[in-house]
Amino acid sequence: MSGDRRHAQRVDINQEFETIDDFVAEYATNISTTGCFIRSKHPLPVGTRVNLKFTVIASDIDVIEGVGEVVRVVRPPAGDVGMGVRFTKLTPETRARIEALAPPASDG
């Protein structure tokens, strides 16, 4: 990738998904402090900068808020339809919730 993308336009991924035509995020999985996979019938293209504010289904984390970038798109037969999002900045509250879910580090 070239150029400074920190100030690139971002697509809002919010609870209502009002700003993305026909975007349906079903749920996020594999949540870590660095990113997650969002199951979606209409994944955004790789490289899309996103503002994140969405509800996570079946998790102890109710909402993820921050900014990120789509780093991969998956379609069948490779797996579930969706996109991998790399977090570039999470709110302190979201980061704390994710870190609280992380398994304790092993000593050995």
Q: What is the domain partition of the chain in residue ranges? A: 10-100
Instruction: Say whether pLDDT at 3 is over 60.
Output: no
pLDDT tens-digit profile of 64-106? 889 999 999 998 887 778 899 999 999 999 999 888 877 776 6
pTM here is 0.72
Three-state SS letters, 3-55: CCCCCCCEEEECCCCCCCCCCCEEEEECCCCCEEEEEECCCCCCCCEEEEEEE
Write out the CATH class of domain 10-100: mainly beta
Q: How many CA atoms lie within 13 A of 31 on its CB side?
A: 25
- Would you say 54 and 13 are in contact if contact means Cβ atoms under 8 Å apart? yes
